[in-house]
Amino acid sequence: MYGGGNTFEPIKATGLEMEDPAKLAEFEARIERGEKIEPQDWMPNLYRKQLIRMIEQHAHSEIIGALPEGTWITRAPGFRRKLAQMAKVQDEVGHAQLLYSAAETLGKSREDMITDLINGKSKYSNIFNYPAFTWADSTVISWLVDAGAIVNQIANAKGSYGPYCRALDRICAEESFHLKYGHDAVVHLATGTPIQRKMLQEALNRWWTPLMHFFGPPDKMSVHTEILVKWKVKMATNDECRQQFLDMYVPKIWELGLSLPDPKLHKNAETGEWEYTEPDWEEFKRVINGDGPCNAERLAVRRTAEERGAWVRKALLSPKATYVTPLA
Amino acid sequence: MKELAIKELLYKMADDLLILGHRNSEWTGIGPILEEDIAFSSMAQDKVGQSWALYKMLQVLGEQEPDTVAFTRNAPQFHSCKFVELPIGEYDFSLVRHFLFDTADLLRFDLLSRSSYTPLAQLATKIKGELKYHTMHANTWIKQLGSVEDEEAFQRMQYALDVALPFALGIFEEGPYEQSLADEKIFAGEVHLKSLWLEKIQETLSKTRLVLGDVSLISPELGGRYGQHTEFLQPLLDEMTEVFKVDPTAEW
Ligand SMILES: [Fe+2]
Ligand SMILES: [Fe+2]
């Protein structure tokens, strides 16, 4: 999973004047022609830095994203759901693995990335700083957060960096299963008993603001990142992704007889655009800067996991031991 | 008699797999390295899937449907050994349990693949195929962490092995129908399985610095097969059934 809105901060100095103009021109021409950039290829420093930051945040989002849903593995109702929930969360961890290795091709080690995560130096998708109180929250995450992630990831898969694009192609294939699973679980609640319906509606109400935040601040409020668009690092604007998400999923939500907590939400028949109440962007900023309902808890869980696993990693580095790759 | 014996056998195997699969899934998202996180989840999924298949076999024999059986019973109705219900602890304990239990289970299903009860023999053949990878994984890690120079890792593994052993011996607690299962050539029995298991784990441990305690001096943690459990099983079940019990008649 992934939310794109938090990735890009103002670029203070591009450093482009330091780059070899001929190489830079050739690099840009390759991207223009739709070629992929590979790890050994020449690339400007800014490109490398921005990509590391983006892929790293994406990887962090996958492992942190495994936490709210992971707590429902042990509580999933019935064999079918239990197995699917296990497989789904496992996939997310697998996505983190793929993405960390894509980022490593750019020169930052997995250990350094995880250290930066734990120390709060690098970010992850804001949405995982909200709690999953009930089973219904978990189903809403599986359906709609994964749906949002797909919108984002399909766009990014058309970007210019080869290893990231290939990782995203594999990830998107798995995400589409998550979406089906999440949708099926939501439909069961929506068409179930009054208790189930109530549980689902409440979860949807809780997740609506984080979902609207998911794609990041509106374009008019966002930093300008023309160069990243030109280099095919940033593939779609926040508003484009949000519109696409609303267009695909709001009708499906309404079809299930569910409501959304925004009376203004509707599609403008003339413009074809969705109109809505702006979610509270101050809240978004607060949460992204560390002050959300679960930021501290998520990082604490991750930190504890790293500490508890430290002896294993240390033992594997032991000079006398021959490293054996785990089979799975 | 024969049917009772088969049911008793199926229940204890299914319960073991469900509970251990559940426990191992608790590592998802918090494993020591991502690769292990993923591996433990795969094996947990296999175990839960295997338990499901065994409960389905019980359903054919007239028991209630798998979800009802798995998600509505309380601890005294579970036939799993105490070993599987113990908390995951640190990774040392989880690895050692994985090694000791899965080695036993692979041998068990190998025996059962030749069972005179055909449906079980067929399922056992399939399960055996999955378990091979589990024991390969376990053996790799035991050999690795059991022979490293790293003193902390070695001490942890040895301690975990000592703690686990009495519980592991409880896997082989004899049931009420051992004789009839053996006579009918359905299952060769726990005593036989235990001797195969001891040989197998010694073989792996001999390639490490780890030392297995003298099993003749250890009293096994028994009772699980007869519904006597540690204080850890009921809370596990309460958690597992929390959503299901909101409305057991609902479709989830
Ligand atoms: Fe994912
Ligand atoms: Fe996903």
Name the DSSP class of B244. G
Residue A287 half-sphere exposure toward CB, CA atoms < 13 A: 24
Helix (H/G/I), strand (E/B), else coil: A267 = strand
pLDDT bin (cut points 50, 70, 90) of residue A8 is low
> Is the dihedral angle over the CA atoms A299, A302, A308, A314 positive or is it negative?
negative
pLDDT bin (cut points 50, 70, 90) of residue A3 is low
pLDDT tens for chain B, 252 residues long, are 799 999 999 999 999 999 999 999 999 999 999 999 999 999 999 999 999 999 999 999 999 999 999 999 999 999 999 999 999 999 999 999 999 999 999 999 999 999 999 999 999 999 999 999 999 999 999 999 999 889 999 999 999 999 999 999 999 999 999 999 999 999 999 999 999 999 999 999 999 999 999 999 999 999 999 999 999 999 999 999 999 999 888 999
Closest CA of chain B from A114, distance in Å: 11
Interface with B, mutate which of A67, A69, A86 (most B CBs under 10 A): A86
Predicted local distance difference test score (pLDDT) of residue A74: 98
Q: Is residue B80 left, alpha or beta, with left meaning phi > 0 and alpha meaning psi from -120 to 50?
A: beta
* pLDDT > 70? residue A50: yes
> Is the dihedral angle over the CA atoms A208, A209, A211, A212 positive or is it negative?
positive
- Separation of CA A89 and ligand 2 centre (Å): 7
Q: Comparing C-alpha atoms, which of B159, B23, B151 is closest to residue B83?
A: B23
Predicted local distance difference test score (pLDDT) of residue B249: 85
Predicted local distance difference test score (pLDDT) of residue A221: 85
* pLDDT > 90? residue A90: yes
Q: Do the domain assignments include residue A152?
A: yes
Predicted local distance difference test score (pLDDT) of residue A327: 42
Helix (H/G/I), strand (E/B), else coil: A263 = coil
Pick the CATH number of B2-246 from 1.10.3720.10, 1.20.1260.10, 1.10.600.10, 1.10.1270.20: 1.20.1260.10
Question: What pLDDT, in 10s, does the model give residues A232-244?
Answer: 999 999 999 999 9
Question: What pLDDT, in 10s, does the model give residues A144-161?
Answer: 999 999 999 999 999 999
* pLDDT > 80? residue A10: no
Instruction: Encode A141-201 in three state secondary structure.
Output: HHHHHHHHHHHHHHHHCCCCEHHHHHHHHHHHHHHHHHHHHHHHHHHHHHCCCHHHHHHHH
Q: Is A93 on the interface with B (CB under 8 A)?
A: yes
A54 vs A4, A132, A245, B106, B206, CA distance in Å?
Answer: 9, 26, 21, 44, 48
The answer for residues whose C-beta is within 8 angstroms of residue A98's C-beta and 6 or more apart is A167, A170, A171
Start-to-end CA span in chain B (Å): 37
Model pTM?
Answer: 0.95
Closest CA of chain B from A158, distance in Å: 27
Q: Comparing C-alpha atoms, which of A51, A45, A47, A20 is closest to residue A164?
A: A51
Alpha carbon distance A26, B73 (integer Å): 68
**Which whole number is the average pLDDT over A115-134?**
94
Residue whose entry in the numeric block shows the structure tokens 């830079």: A24
Predicted local distance difference test score (pLDDT) of residue A328: 43
Alpha carbon distance A116, A33 (integer Å): 35
Compute how many other C-beta atoms are within 10 angstroms of the C-beta atom of residue B172: 21
pLDDT bin (cut points 50, 70, 90) of residue A225 is confident
Quote the Cα angle for B142-B169-B41, to 5°: 45
- Contact criterion met (CB below 8 Å) for A148 and A214: yes
Longest dimension (CA), chain A: 71
Helix (H/G/I), strand (E/B), else coil: A79 = helix
CATH of the domain at A310: 1.20.1260.10
Q: Do the domain assignments include residue A1?
A: no
Closest CA of chain B from A93, distance in Å: 7
* pLDDT > 90? residue A57: yes
Nearest CB to A73 within list B28, B66, B250: B28
CB contact under 8 A, A188 and B240: no
Predicted local distance difference test score (pLDDT) of residue A5: 52
Predicted local distance difference test score (pLDDT) of residue A323: 47
Task: Report the number of distinct structural domains present in chain A.
Answer: 1
> Is the dihedral angle over the CA atoms A107, A112, A113, A119 positive or is it negative?
negative
Give the mean pLDDT of chain B: 97
- Contact criterion met (CB below 8 Å) for B149 and A307: no
Longest dimension (CA), chain B: 55
Predicted local distance difference test score (pLDDT) of residue A317: 86
Domain limits of chain B? Answer: 2-246
* pLDDT > 80? residue A286: yes
- Ordered DSSP codes for A194-232: HHHHHHHHHHHHHHHHHHHHTT-S-GGGSPP-HHHHHTT
Quote the Cα angle for A255-A256-A260, to 5°: 85
- Contact criterion met (CB below 8 Å) for A230 and A28: yes
Instruction: Encode B70-106 in three state secondary structure.
Output: HHHCCHHHCCCCHHHHCCCCCHHHHHHHHHHHHHHHH
Predicted local distance difference test score (pLDDT) of residue A49: 95
Shortest-distance ligand to the CA of residue A1: 1
Question: What pLDDT, in 10s, does the model give residues B144-162?
Answer: 999 988 999 999 999 999 9
CB contact under 8 A, B153 and A312: yes
Q: Do the domain assignments include residue A328?
A: no
Nearest CB to A74 within list B33, B239, B252: B239
Q: Do the domain assignments include residue A231?
A: yes
Nearest CB to B49 within list A73, A83, A314: A83
**Which whole number is the average pLDDT over A206-214?**
97
Alpha carbon distance A7, B117 (integer Å): 60
Alpha carbon distance A109, A114 (integer Å): 9
* pLDDT > 60? residue A63: yes
Give the mean pLDDT of chain A: 92
Q: Do the domain assignments include residue A182?
A: yes
Predicted local distance difference test score (pLDDT) of residue B148: 87
- Separation of CA A150 and ligand 2 centre (Å): 8
CB contact under 8 A, B137 and A326: yes
Q: Do the domain assignments include residue A151?
A: yes
Decide the pairing of beta strands A274-275 and A266-267.
antiparallel
- Ordered DSSP codes for A229-253: HHTTSS-S-HHHHHHHHHHHHHHHH
Print the domain residue range for A225. Answer: 16-317
